[in-house]
A and B are shown apart, each in its own frame.
Chain A
Amino acid sequence: MPQFAVELRDVVKRFPGPSGEEVYAVKHVSLQIHDGEFFSLLGPSGCGKTTSLRMIAGFELPTTGAVMIHDRHMGETPPFQRPVNTVFQNYALFPHMTVGENVAFGLEMKRVPKTDIAPRVTEALRMVRLPGMEKRKPKQLSGGQQQRIALARALINRPEVLLLDEPLGALDLKLRKEMQLELKTLQREVGITFIYVTHDQEEALTMSDRIAVMSGGEVLQVGGAADIYERPNCRFVADFIGETNFLRGTVKEQKGKTTVVEVDGGITVRAESENSLAHGQSVTIAVRPEKIHLRPTSGAANAFAGRVEDLVYIGTDTHYGVRFAGDHRVRVREQNTDSASTPLARVGDEVTVSFAEAAARVLVE
């Protein structure tokens, strides 16, 4: 039994740059992706996530390092001999073939007998909820339908790993949300390992078992959605995933996880850190807006007087911008649970912002 579905071992990819110098697309990436996992590569454009995916597919070869699929070293194996299939960002359906011919293409290449292909095409189209579309041309289908055909065309080959390169990028928001759930359900049904490239953090959080956050060609953090959201390991991850307030300061003392940080402007904040930190070390504290409250909550380790500077009502929540301790500004998100539509505070009100010790994460620069 192989240990991992896909393993990247210290993979580096360099491209020749425009003025002759070498440009790193991927720098020393190591990843282990388990069988049956829904794994996302998440990051802004240019972070190396698509290049990493293309190296697994075989469209690019690593400059150094190894790509392993189920313990087999891929080396220079061309794409048409790899046990993976890809769903492309622009779908890449063959325009001169019908939907049926598109979906059958992979099996035909494997020289599966014609009599076996037809029922499998029917089954694949049923699976993506487009039964009976065999005779249509891709052009006659909507974007969402083309997306599903691309999915059927890849899944019909029963690949060991399915690679998805921002497959929902071209769809509108509502359809994208539907497809996210559908993809996740489909992945559970077929049990195939999915590696999903996206720049949309919400999409990654919704669907993935685990996420690798990438930036500048490096993997910054790998973990489940909650790990990454609740316990980001650096400022980039905290900032990229969701909204975060940052407070800069220096470590004053540490007892176990509890870390007291002296924040510029003369306040001290009690925060949590798993790392042992040196006295006087400069750090950043990250606090999510929904974990800050506008009234002192019982047992809150941190409470500061401040003034509401702006207020945005967005239905489920109200967002407040609060300035406190001189120059610090935080965003606070309060749920509108009261039936009375009166906000907790108005612009200009003096308020107390408070948050628990566990809500504040210490990030080392």
Chain B
Amino acid sequence: MTAFLRSLRDKDNLRGLGLISPSLLWMIGLLIIPLIVVMISSVGGRDPDGNVIFGFSFHNYLRLAGYNYDTPCGDVPPPCFDDLYLTILWRSLVLAFQTTALVIAVGYPLAYFVARAPAGHRNLLLFLILVPLWTNFVIRVYAWIMILRTQGVLNGLIGSALGVLNLPFKPLEMLYTPGAVLVGMVYEFLPFMILPMYTSLEKIDSSLFEAAADLGANPLRTFLRVTLPLSMPGVVAGTILVFIPVMGTFIVSDILGGRQVILVGNLIQRQFLDARDPAFGSAASILLMVMTLIVTIFYTRTFGFGEEIASA
């Protein structure tokens, strides 16, 4: 502490502290302290009015792991094993992986196309990709209801197409399915993947493509050996930008999944609002954070943050 205070005497350190203090206060007030509160309540309990009783027990975490204290699991009387929450966690994880994979698959060709477009067109194309973000997130998700519902746009189109061919048509049940949630997620998070991928692709020196061709690589092999590896930093950055929010989001699944597709985000939201069990909600939040952290650490350990290649 004295060393810290002594270092403050140095003008540069003082200026540095001045520069970071607004964001430091912001982070402490709105991230660190709430996080500590969440950690403390996650090991607490709940009184009949839905307030947190402070204490120290892991029973919220045990409940998440499937240990059921009070209600019967089918025919088995409590305490018993209930996989309800584990299923939700697993579903969230799978959906986040599926979303990320699909966003890469859809976004990469688009980012590639924009990066290879004539320089004068690129900004316009990027602008078009970003235009949907001008509309509120929730409204954009609601728009998918219009598209996917039984009497919606998509069923209407398929119906009239089949009608022309004189084929019978029974409207598809697309809304309130895991598929609907997946489509909504991909739609919402696509720009966050395209932008970093575009940045990576656009940065590649075009003489490298010529060098590969000159050395006998056809366009496919040039792509696999040069373009793809050099654009990996963008894919890695995009994956982090997409995977983490998708793990925690609840709006898309709430609107497009109805009661059918409950994700860990919905679980947390309901504990705080409907079930009035903030202690259990806190435990679920901490678990979500830890899971996301583990996946991210594992991912970045394997692929890096991409900066080694990007800076080369």
Residues of A within 8 A of B (CB): 57-59, 78-81, 84-86, 88, 90, 92-96, 105-106, 109-110, 137-139, 153-154, 157
Contact = CB atoms under 8 A, between A and B. Distances in A.
Given A95-B309, A95-B312, A96-B229, A79 B213 contact: yes
A142 to B, nearest CB: 15
B32 interface: no
Interface stretch (B2-10, B89-97, B216-224, B281-289): B216-224
Interface string B172-214: 0000000000000000000000000000000001011011111
Contact of A80 (B207, B208, B216, B309): B216
B223 to A, nearest CB: 13
B212 A105 contact: yes
A86 B211 contact: yes
Contact of B208 (A94, A106, A137): A94
A88 B312 contact: no
Interface string B270-312: 0000000000000000000000000000000000000001001
B218 to A, nearest CB: 5
B251 interface: no
Q: Which of A57, A79, A85, A110 has the most CB of B within 10 A?
A: A79
B143 interface: no
A230 to B, nearest CB: 37
Contacts of B19: none
B1 interface: no
Question: Which 5 A-B residue pairs are closest in the complex by CB-CB distance?
Answer: A109-B216, A95-B312, A106-B215, A92-B211, A92-B207
A95 B229 CA distance: 10
B226 interface: yes
B221 A94 contact: no
A109 B222 CA distance: 10
A96 B312 contact: yes
A157 B215 contact: yes
A106 B212 CA distance: 8
Q: Is the interface of B mostly helix, strand, loop or mixed?
A: helix
A80 B210 contact: no
Contacts of B226: 94
A110 B216 contact: yes
A258 to B, nearest CB: 52
B312 A105 contact: no
B195 to A, nearest CB: 22
B210 A105 contact: no
Given A92-B205, A92-B208, A153 B215 contact: yes
B214 A109 contact: no
Contacts of B230: 95-96
Contact of A106 (B207, B210, B216, B309): B216
Could you say which of B213, B215, B312 has the most chain A C-beta atoms within 10 Å of its C-beta?
B215
A95 B218 CA distance: 19
A57 B210 CA distance: 10
16 contacts: A57-B210, A59-B213, A78-B213, A79-B210, A80-B218, A90-B205, A90-B207, A92-B205, A92-B210, A92-B211, A96-B229, A96-B309, A105-B225, A138-B312, A154-B214, A154-B215
Given A94-B226, A95-B230, A96-B229, A88 B216 contact: no
A153 B211 CA distance: 10
Given A79-B213, A95-B309, A109-B216, 11 more contacts: A57-B214, A59-B213, A59-B214, A78-B218, A79-B214, A85-B215, A92-B208, A94-B211, A95-B230, A154-B215, A157-B216
Nearest to A88: B207
* Residue of B207, B211, B229, B312 most packed against chain A (CB within 10 A): B211
A90 B208 CA distance: 10
B120 to A, nearest CB: 11
Interface in B219-267: 221, 225-226, 229-230
A106 to B, nearest CB: 4
A81 B213 CA distance: 8
B215 A59 contact: no
A94 B216 CA distance: 14
Nearest to B208: A92
A88 B210 contact: yes
B116 to A, nearest CB: 16
Contacts of B213: 58-59, 78-80
A137 B217 contact: no
A109 B213 CA distance: 10
A80 B312 contact: no
Nearest to A104: B215
A80 B205 contact: no
Q: A86, A96, A106, A137: which has the most chain B beta carbons within 10 Å?
A: A96
Contacts of A139: 312
Contacts of A90: 205, 207
A363 to B, nearest CB: 39
Contacts of A85: 214-215
Nearest to A165: B207
Contacts of B211: 86, 88, 92-94
B238 to A, nearest CB: 18
A297 to B, nearest CB: 53
A153 B214 CA distance: 11
Nearest to B207: A92
B304 to A, nearest CB: 12
A153 B217 CA distance: 14
Contacts of B216: 80-81, 106, 109-110, 157
A80 B229 contact: no
A139 B214 CA distance: 21
A95 B211 CA distance: 12
B99 to A, nearest CB: 28
Contacts of B207: 88, 90, 92
A153 B212 CA distance: 11
A257 to B, nearest CB: 47
A94 B207 CA distance: 10
A78 B205 CA distance: 20
Contacts of B312: 95-96, 137-139
Contacts of B229: 96
